[in-house]
A and B are shown apart, each in its own frame.
Chain A
Amino acid sequence: MEHSITRRMLLGSGIAAFLASSARAQPAFRLGLTPVFLDNDAAVIDGLSRALSHGMGREIELVQRRTYQEITGLLLERSVDAAWLCGYPYLQHDDLLGLVAVPVWRGEPRYRSYLIVGTEDGAKNLTDLRGGTHAFSDPDSNSGYLVTATNLLRKGEQVESFFSRSIFTFGHRNVVRAVADGLVQSGSVDGYVWEALAVIEPGLTARTRVISRSEWLGFPPVCARRDNLASEPVQALQTALMSLAETEEGRLALTWLQLDGFRQATPALFDGIADRMRDLDP
């Protein structure tokens, strides 16, 4: 076979080299991640990183920490440029943080909190869980703490007295594991995570049963500092997120995340969470 270097190939190689060198020239974009989604899956993380890097034309440095508080702190102190937070910490700092984009799941930028128990457990609702052990995801998680805590408050109960013992697993998947393995009787988990696990790890969720679902609440958003929202990198991130569905890598990342895409949203999307926050700290 004869090989020849055409003019188009030379042009293409030159553009690619320029883009690559310009990507390397700019500082990496630091995006903080919380355990809001399947953060333990390296393939998902890598896929999202590649898709965003390609979309933003720069390197992406994904920063993971164990707790929401740590990531929120990094964002507030500008150690990360943006972060995929939860609606609860966003609202806790909405004076400093602004919305970059919100994931769309099953056609809506909303999700629900699930109350789960082991398959063999006879509990039918939250009241039946009195005196048992309970697993929360994170004290700053809406679906993994705030919803159940406020539901108890609305019933005149306190977490500390209602459950014999409650623990934090710092991961929604860990909550499912803790309940499925019998470490605790029940757990509060992100409904989106539970449903995603039901697809990729059906054996795990099959050992749990959802006994209660919350109202639809605002999906955990991607946030940045308000004073940084208009910056080029954050704008580039917003563009890349909004256009993930338009590229092959983006679609692949969305498939792995089991999301439809990202869209812009207003703070009103999180009014339900704000109501619960008021119940918790009137």
Chain B
Amino acid sequence: MKWFAPIPLSIKLPLLAATMMVLVGTVASHQVLQSLAQVQDARIRELARMHVEGLSVALGPLVLRRDIWEVYDTLDRASQGVGGRRMVLTAVADERGKILAATDPRRVPMDSDIAALADDAVALDNLTVDGASPVLSLLAPLTYQGRIVGQIATELDVADLLSERRKALLFLILGNAIATGLLSVAGFFAIRKMLQPITTLARQMTETKGEPHPIPISDIPRGDGELARLARTYNSMVGAVLAKAEAERRLAERERFVALGRLSSSLAHEINNPLGGLLNATDTIRSYPDRPEVVRKSADLIDRGLRHLRDVTRATLDQNRIDPEARALTPDDFEDIKLLIQPEISRLALDLEWSVEPTSVTECSLSAGPVRQIALNLLLNACSAAGQNGCVRLMALTRNGNLTLQIMNTGAAMPQAALDRLLEDGPLLPGGGVGLRLVRDLITKLGGAISHSHENGVTCVAVSLPISWESADAEE
């Protein structure tokens, strides 16, 4: 039955229904034919009984007298009646079995032995229209006044009964075939129509192309049946999925703005500090324009301040670029990250340990954008977790064909909700940020792995990114 499994439900069910109908039709036909056979047998036995009993009454004295002509004349006249058409041959013998007369004297001559005629004859009670022969042979005793005076052999033509049976069989087969065919076709379309919502549901679920689509209202069955409820439930689920995706998108957007705000404040701080120095330098130049060494020193100070401002601006631009960055990762990206977290480091008076192997970073051929985002998010998170006067450490090195980033920080361990977002793919609980889940998604896209440990007050998050990862794939 393995071949049956792949057949669609809309064909399987009508086929099952048709098969059941054929089975029911076959059983019913068998019952009808059996009943017909029993009726025919009863009819033929009754007819034969009346024939034999009638002949016994009429022929008894004639057989006793051996009045051959009268026996023949009686048989001949009986054969002209209605029963004669059924009784194709009747022969009467004396008690010794010698034929006295028969309705067909040429076939059964006088004085011949009735045994030759009664080879396949049966008794009255065993008479049955079995379908093997269109003629039944019957041998019955001729009883007169309580004693057997002879024998009656009769051949009954049952061709019409067999024909009736064949016709009944033919009509049953034709009727069943037509009825089964019509009902199967009707059942096929009816069940197909009934299963249409299932088909639509399956199509909507399998042909989502990015996101599930709800079933059009026009395709939902009317009423409050199971299928209608199923379709409405599916539409509700699709709506919930879409709402969830939209919520995640908004959350990510919010997280981005949060990060941007944090960066903006640190950027303002970063710009504000040099600005004081720059303004002092310009005041110094205005005050001592005739002192070249002071002007040169102030100009150098202004130059360093402006370069610092340029670097900060560039790093900020690079970090918040809207288009995906296809550029390969360089050691400068880590310098940018360091620059970006510097205000947070300064604000919290953190001890930052920075260890980046330039060769490893250059040879890894990873896209800069995702790695910068991963590192920045984890470092900001680590800064936040380390708290005031804590310690944060970054290590970037190549190990076993992977670029490994280790971000460690002192302070409290990561709460379970944050770990779930970082290490699991389960749904996000409302209220949490999406920065860590964004990190996980980026690592997953890059084919990497992430691990977490917290020992002796030190939290360590290790990210392993395969360096064989093609940059083209990483763009996806």
Contacts and interface: CB of A to CB of B under 8 A. Distances in A.
A269 B352 CA distance: 172
B106 interface: yes
Interface stretch (B66-74, B303-311, B338-346): B66-74
A165 B105 contact: no
Given A181-B105, A183-B105, A133 B110 contact: yes
Contacts, number: 32
Contacts of B109: 133
A48 B185 CA distance: 79
Contact of B69 (A164, A174, A182): A174
B72 A178 contact: yes
B101 interface: yes
Interface string B55-86: 00000000000001100110010000000000
A65 to B, nearest CB: 15
A72 interface: no
Interface in A168-211: 168-170, 174, 177-178, 181-184
B106 A167 contact: no
Nearest to A170: B69
Contacts of B105: 181-184
Contacts of B69: 135, 167-170, 174, 178, 183
A174 B73 contact: yes
Interface in A120-143: 133, 135
B191 to A, nearest CB: 69
A213 B159 CA distance: 46
B111 interface: yes
Given A167-B68, A167-B69, A168-B69, A182 B106 contact: yes
A170 B110 CA distance: 18
A166 to B, nearest CB: 10
A183 B111 contact: no
A177 B103 CA distance: 12
B197 to A, nearest CB: 81
Nearest to A178: B69
Given A133-B110, A183-B110, 8 more contacts: A168-B69, A174-B73, A178-B69, A178-B72, A181-B72, A181-B105, A183-B69, A183-B72
A170 B73 CA distance: 12
A170 B101 CA distance: 16
Contacts of A164: 111
| A: interface residue count bin | 10 to 19
Interface in B213-243: none
Interface string B82-108: 000000000000000000010011100
Contacts of A167: 68-69
Contacts of B76: 177, 181
Interface of A: 133, 135, 164-165, 167-170, 174, 177-178, 181-184
A211 B105 CA distance: 21
A44 to B, nearest CB: 20
30 contacts: A133-B109, A133-B110, A135-B69, A164-B111, A165-B110, A165-B111, A167-B68, A167-B69, A168-B69, A169-B73, A170-B69, A174-B69, A174-B73, A177-B73, A177-B76, A178-B69, A178-B72, A181-B72, A181-B76, A181-B105, A182-B104, A182-B105, A182-B106, A183-B68, A183-B72, A183-B101, A183-B105, A183-B110, A184-B105, A184-B110
A130 to B, nearest CB: 16
A85 to B, nearest CB: 21
A267 B72 CA distance: 38
Nearest to B106: A182
Q: What are the 6 closest A-B residue pairs judged by CB atoms, nearest first?
A: A182-B106, A183-B105, A169-B69, A182-B105, A167-B68, A183-B72
A165 B111 CA distance: 9
B97 to A, nearest CB: 16
B299 to A, nearest CB: 155
Nearest to A167: B68
A180 B116 CA distance: 24
A181 to B, nearest CB: 6
A261 to B, nearest CB: 33
A154 B392 CA distance: 160
Contacts of A181: 72, 76, 105
B64 to A, nearest CB: 16
A178 B69 CA distance: 8
A183 B109 CA distance: 7
B133 to A, nearest CB: 25
Contacts of B110: 133, 165, 183-184
Contacts of B101: 183
Contacts of B111: 164-165
Contacts of B68: 167, 183
A123 to B, nearest CB: 16
Contacts of A183: 68-69, 72, 101, 105, 110
B74 to A, nearest CB: 12
The listed residue with most A CB atoms (<10 A of its CB), out of B69, B73, B101, B110, is B69
The listed residue with most A CB atoms (<10 A of its CB), out of B68, B109, B111, is B68
Nearest to B104: A182
Contacts of B106: 182
A174 B111 CA distance: 20
Nearest to B102: A183
A158 to B, nearest CB: 19
B373 to A, nearest CB: 120
A184 B110 CA distance: 8
A135 B101 CA distance: 13
A181 B72 CA distance: 10
A135 B73 CA distance: 13
Nearest to B101: A183
B96 to A, nearest CB: 15
Nearest to B107: A182
B234 to A, nearest CB: 90
A222 to B, nearest CB: 27
Contacts of A182: 104-106
Interface in B319-348: none
Contacts of A165: 110-111
Nearest to A182: B106
